[in-house]
Structure 1
Amino acid sequence: MEINGGDVVYEVLGHSGDLIALTPGGRFGKDIPGLRPLADALVAGGYRVLLWDRPNCGASDVQFYGYSESHMRAETLMRLVTGLGLGPCIIAGGSGGARDSILTTILYPELVTKLVVWNIVGGVYGSFVLGGHYVVPSILAVRGSGITGLLAIGEWQDRIAANPANEMRIRDLDADAFLKVMLRWLNAFVPKPGQTIPGVEDGSFDDISVPTLIIRGGEDDWDHPKRTSLEVSCLIKGSVLIDPPWPEDAWERAGEKFAASGGTDFCLFDTWVQAAPAILEFLGR
């Protein structure tokens, strides 16, 4: 579907039941290992599941606009669900997908019936890591080599490999306009008083009134701190907070396994399927 001038790739699993829009973390697409087993388990529980490649993820077109990348994704999800005539629906996501889901619920409350989030990013370390990983390399590339410098970055090379049209979309970017957007996106990741999660004002959580399930972060998870999920549970009135169904150190052990494989064995989301029983129980209330 074309949304705001870019193609968005999606698929819907299941044939009946309420729709769950399921969003992974990072800049990973719908085919990232670990996501589909969770989607299949939710379908087996009687739901339909929307999987989608957000802009800059998977085979969708690259796009650069909005207050933050998550704000852009929230608008895209709203237009995707409404364009398909599948709303209102349940919104669910983990890690960066949790932030995208929270923002979608805040900005487009008419779209959402229930909210389920886990692995919520926050804290100084988690926020700076995201900004340094997803934004700073592109800024440095363009400042040093112009827009064509983006073509040397592995992440954008992957987007071109998945969708060759992205090469021309990148080449057609205006360097000054692109840098302006990147600085805005980077600023969203700078920790600020009154922002428990990057780029989202604490006061805006008052706009979330739907039933909400929060699976808290692991005890020593620096990327998705336990403290952040506890604070979010305080900000969303009436939300339900549960312990993670996976081991407390699941994220750390998966990260070690991923690093030891040289980046070839992606297992960061393998435990997510373990959340299916708790999610289904919550949705069935």
Structure 2
Amino acid sequence: MTVVLEQDEKVIEINGGNVVYEILGEEGDFIALTPGGRFSKDIPGLRPLAEELVKGGYRVLLWDRPNCGKSDVQFYGYSESHMRAETLHQLITQLGIGPCILAGGSGGARDSMLTTMLYPEIVTKLVVWNIVGGVYGSFVLGSYYVVPSILAVRGAGMKAVARIDEWKERIAENPANEARILAQDADEFLKLMLRWLNAFVPKPGQTIPGVEDEMFDNIKVPTLIIRGGENDLDHPKRTSLEVSCLIKGSTLIDPPWPEDAWERAGEDRASGKAKRFNMFDTWVQAAPAILDFLGK
């Protein structure tokens, strides 16, 4: 079985795995737009933002990162974000659209910042929001995205890993992922998951998970930071302020959505009103501020 692509979707092979992407817009500078979590480019709320950026005169690259959406699962790297940064670098390079603007929220903010740190030559401007940090935010990510795989592989090997809801979703969207998961050596997979988990353990000198603060010195491009909500434990206001101090010359603005948007979305999900954290629905509200910043 093969993955079913929509009309505008394309596939490119990077580091031995297929990456699904699409480009919106016909002319203008490119913006590589990245969502958070292990959500795909089709997570509700992302495309409306992309479409507003296109209306503002840009072309937008949407992509399913490894382990997201229809792309192939991949397992390598110091952390999952390091793997995605390498993939984004190769994607931009192979498509010939760099240097370009990087923009992303939540995990996509971390991926975008790390890409800029590691491959500054492919980035012209950087826009990030909902930056994850702090003890709670980091521990939640590790426990949600990594610990279940560790427990499964230790208990019953890779067959058990393939039965985890997270990976079952990847298999449902891309059936080839089942064979890719089962082909992993259980011992090596466990080592990798422990390394990925370690990246989410808060450490002195790491404002964002798994990234040394000194790496921020590599970000020299104009940067817009939309700070986290006042009481958002997943994307703390404090983390945004610290990142703004670490990126010299960066611009920090208040969120254009309500300060409690993430908390209210979480309540909706807990009550069964939403299948996902639909806080992404508010991201389109950032379009005017992003376009204003990019136009300067």
TM over 0.5: yes
Identity percentage of aligned residues: 80
Distance 2:215 2:182 in 1: 37
Tell me which amino acid in the other structure corresponds to 1:118.
W
Q: Say yes or no: does 1:59 pair with 2:84.
A: no
Residue of structure 1 in register with 2:151 after alignment: 140
Q: Say yes or no: does 1:30 pair with 2:30.
A: no
The answer as to whether partners of 1:215 and 1:243 remain within 8 angstroms in 2 is yes
Distance 2:80 2:171 in 1: 19
Distance 1:33 1:159 in 2: 17
Residue of structure 2 in register with 1:208 after alignment: 219
Q: Say yes or no: does 1:190 pair with 2:201.
A: yes
The answer as to whether partners of 1:33 and 1:266 remain within 8 angstroms in 2 is no
Tell me which amino acid in the other structure corresponds to 1:277.
P
Q: How does 1:52-201 map to 2 (within 5 A)?
A: 52-201=63-212
Q: Say yes or no: does 1:43 pair with 2:54.
A: yes
Q: Is the partner of 2:279 in helix, strand or coil? A: coil
The answer as to whether partners of 1:39 and 1:49 remain within 8 angstroms in 2 is yes
Question: Structure 2, unaligned stretches of length 5 or more?
Answer: 1-11
- CA spacing shift, 1:74–1:265, aligned 2, 3 Å: closer
User: Displacement of 1:265 after TM fit?
Assistant: 5.3
User: Displacement of 1:267 after TM fit?
Assistant: 1.3
User: Displacement of 1:211 after TM fit?
Assistant: 0.1
Distance 2:85 2:100 in 1: 14
User: Deviations for 1:27-63, whole angstroms, at most 9, x for unmatched residues?
Assistant: 0000000000000000000000000000000000000
The answer as to whether partners of 1:124 and 1:191 remain within 8 angstroms in 2 is yes
Q: Say yes or no: does 1:232 pair with 2:243.
A: yes
Tell me which amino acid in the other structure corresponds to 1:213.
L
Q: Which runs of 4+ in 1 moved over 4 A?
A: none
Residue correspondences, number: 285
TM-score normalised by length of structure 2: 0.95
Question: Structure 1, unaligned stretches of length 5 or more?
Answer: none
Distance 1:26 1:202 in 2: 22
User: Displacement of 1:160 after TM fit?
Assistant: 0.4
The answer as to whether partners of 1:68 and 1:185 remain within 8 angstroms in 2 is yes
CA RMSD for the aligned pairs?
0.8
